[in-house]
Amino acid sequence: MNKHSLVVRLFLIGALLVMLFVSVPFVAADNGTDSSALREAVTLAGVRAHQASLQAIADSNGGTRVAGYPGHDASAEYVFNQLTAAGYSPVYQEFTYTFFNELETPILEQTAPNPNVYPPNDVAGFATMEYSGSGDVTTLVQATNDIVIPPATAANTSNSGCEATDFAGFVAGNIALIQRGTCTFYDKALNAQNAGAVGVIIFNEGQPGRTDAFAGTLGAADFTIPVVGAAFAVGEELYNLSLQPGGVTVHMFTHVETFDLPTRNVLADTAGGRADRLVVVGAHLDSVPAGPGINDNGSGSAAILEIAIQMAELGIQPQNKVRFAFWSAEESGLLGSQYYVDQLSTSAIRKHAVNLNFDMIGSPNYVSFIYDGNGDGTGTAGPNGSDVVEDVFLDYFATESLPSVPTAFDGRSDYGPFIDVGIPAGGLFTGAEGIKTADEAAVFGGTAGVAYDVCYHQACDTYANNNDTALDLMSDAAAHSVLTFAMTTSSVNGTDKGKGHGQSDFEYAGSSLKK
């Protein structure tokens, strides 16, 4: 590196540090709450003890805590019993969801004119969509209208397959080739199925960052045909061949199962506090089938459990009622939190002052992310009042001389259903499969070019998959925010005055792409 480049790099890092450490004033919701006693009581050891218990539960139940299975049931019972012992009167909120499971490795191969096997579950190949149907078909591929090759310069602009008219002239019994963009995968696949397609290939749009294969979600088990998400290069090849005389023939195979499973959220309220200014503190308790989920999201659920226990131990009498919520089936598309919100009347929604969400707060290669309530850092704001939530976190981090970075509300965690109905939201996150940048490594330490959590959604997301520094500081920040909103006498300027507005056009439903 030459001297000039080094000077420029140091200047940029310095500028980033200034922005990260800048102090912000107290906001209306923060009356200078002294959270030191609660933060001192919420220890790293206490949070880690809950994680150890969740690990032991997973170890006794096939290595997983997936919703509707014994590992999650035992996790919910553990949380329920811990809250009861602390003096709460927790309740189970029962619901049923549709579980999806892939039974065999899928196949996507071109049989003519150029035999070619596309790699399954590979960024250069394809992956089965969640809630795809099963099927084994070999037939011609037919492209829908509105496919754009080369891709448009802006992402998410292809309207391919979004309208029934895109399938005008479609030959029933063919495989539909559709480009990602604009509308949901559900809409595209359903239009194809209704047009008589016996399989659906939805390929990525093609702009930078949208070239790889993807395992998106269709959102509901409404499909009887195989549906896969493919890399742009796969789709481009099939599209060009489909326009040639004789076309292109493909063999598709998927073998899946879907069935309904009962599961439960765990909810516990403080005894005191104004019920018309309800503070919902949430974290999901379920894991993916592949592993125990001790960072995702044993970290967030362990932290809010310890906060609840220590608030009771300290005898804190909140001004506003606090509801600790341990969601189920987040990994299948935020289904536990969605069920909770769906049960709320319009009046009940307006009594929800705020939702605080803590999902993954101990990532090994962490960054301290704060949800961008006002949208000035990511371009995506939360409902009215979410800026207040963000400012409480920003003020805390600045006061403690801790750096932070904004992260967008993109629908990847349980704040999504709350935002949809206009409830202000915010929270903390330490990163998942995203790759740490050099600038982030300069500020937070760790390793650039490596995922924030290399064990994300894998069997290795165990008790050992943790960064003590991250978990300790994020647990303290969570405790401060919970107490701040529990004790404030100022309303959050959101749903209390009927000014909330929803924001449901998310690209994700939990960890899965939906469009």
Contacts of 12 (CB under 8 A, 6+ apart): 439
Largest CA distance in the chain: 78
Question: Which entry of 330, 331, 390, 440 is annotated as an active-site residue?
Answer: 330
- Terminal-residue alpha carbon distance, the chain: 41
Among residues 459, 418, 416, 450, the alpha carbon closest in space to that of 431 is found at 450
Asked if residue 444 lies in contact with residue 367, where contact means CB atoms within 8 angstroms, the answer is yes
Residue 133 near residue 256, CB atoms below 8 Å: yes
> Contact 93/327 with Cβ under 8 angstroms?
no
Which of 95, 87, 59 lies closest to 75 in space, CA to CA?
59
Residues 495, 497, 500, CA angle at the centre, nearest 5°? 35
Closest alpha carbon to 490 in 26, 16, 5, 14: 26
- 510 token code pair: 């939990």
Residue reference for tokens 């050992």? 464
* DSSP single-letter state for residue 332: G
Give the CA angle between residues 411, 413, 415 to the nearest 5°.
Answer: 80
496 token code pair: 């209390």
Rounded Cα gap, residues 394 and 411, in angstroms: 21
94 catalytic, yes or no? no
CA distances from 115 to 15, 110, 228 (A): 54, 5, 19
CA angle 423, 426, 432 (to 5 degrees): 130
Catalytic residues: 330
